[in-house]
Amino acid sequence: MDLSLILVAYRSREPLLACLRALRTDAGATGIRTETVVVDNDSRDGTTEALAAEFPEARVIANPENVGYARAVNQGLAATGAPFALVLNPDCEVHAGALRVLLDHAAARPRAAITGPRIVNPDGSLEYSARSFPDPLTFLFNRYSLLTRLFPGNRFSRRYLLTDWDHATAREVDWVSGACMLARRAAIAQAGAMDEAFFMFNEDVDWCRRMWQAGWTVTYEPAAVVTHHVGASRSRVAARVIWSRHLGMIHYFHKHHPTHPLLALPADALVLLRAALMLAANALRLR
């Protein structure tokens, strides 16, 4: 077995099936031997039945509740054994040859723990999926923040999103998006699996940071291309998703940037205030 394919599903039946079709086509065309595990977080949308009908070779782990993304990925890792694991979202579509490019890239770089492809939006524009590690200002200058939209050329957003680089050449980066990442099993054995304290979001940046801390590297390979069909990011978002993102921010900074409680408490309050404002805006968008 060359490659483990690990997908976490939550009410994403049709994107998941399309993703698996593209994976099966690409693996078959390039002769890559794969094993597939889908971890379903209690979707209740016919996902398991559809998988049994179209992809009987895929192993399905059906959770009785939504256990979160990081924990579900770890279930998939524990159930597979290939030397490399591709962890990707169901709304991702790999382009022809992407799997072979990622595997060849990693094989040529034996200290690369995680490799990310070039991720593009459905219109072909670049999704800034390779970034620098966040700092305390990142929650104000991240990819979707108001300040980044109003002032896209500011130095804080440029530093975080690496927008001064054209993303057209392979290189080492601090971290890559968990929407699609190739992970080396030997590195996971040393640095550990995903931190299950992250329910959803920020587990990818934490994982990459721990790989660096353990002496491995994280790389970006633009010759492998994946289209990310983001679902609800432009419409109403579930309140749990908003809270999870912000609680993940707090956990990440407490874990990797510990500071005095007198400084941490107001910082946490600002993050939670931002979450509350986003929840209010989300509710108004629904109306």
Domains in the chain, start-ordered, CATH in brackets? 3-233 (3.90.550.10)
pLDDT in tens, 34-87: 999 999 999 999 999 999 999 999 999 999 999 999 999 999 999 999 999 999
What is the model's pLDDT at position 281? 76
Average pLDDT over residues 79-101: 98
What pLDDT sits at residue 44? 93
Q: How confident is the model at residue 286 (pLDDT cuts 50, 70, 90)?
A: low
On the question of pLDDT at 240 being above 80, the answer is no
What's the pLDDT score for residue 234? Answer: 43
Give the Cα separation of 10 and 41 in Å (integer): 5
Token representation of residue 50: 């559809």
- pLDDT of amino acid 235: 46
Q: Single out the residue of 139, 178, 135, 176 nearest to residue 159, CA to CA.
A: 135
State residue 139's pLDDT score: 66
- 25 close to 95: Cβ distance less than 8 angstroms: no
Nearby residues of 243 by Cβ (< 8 Å), 6 or more positions away: 275, 279
Confidence tier at 237 by pLDDT (50, 70, 90): low
> Is the overall model pTM greater than 0.85, yes or no?
yes
Report the mean per-residue pLDDT for the chain: 91
